Amino acid sequence: ESCEYLIELFRISLQPDARKEMLDMLDSRFKRGEK
């Protein structure tokens, strides 16, 4: 799971709107609580 998360972060970092994407993903993770 940790590896998948890092891969996802790397993939997102390649996108032009990386910061927004990352914030959205982290926000949704926190809202769901765990995953």
pLDDT tens, residue by residue, 1-35 = 688 888 888 887 777 777 787 788 888 888 887 55
Total tally of structural domains belonging to the chain:
1
Give the position of tokens 């590896």.
3
Whole-model pTM: value is: 0.37
Q: Sign of torsion, CA 12 16 17 18?
A: positive
pLDDT number for residue 30: 82
**Domain range holding 19?**
2-32
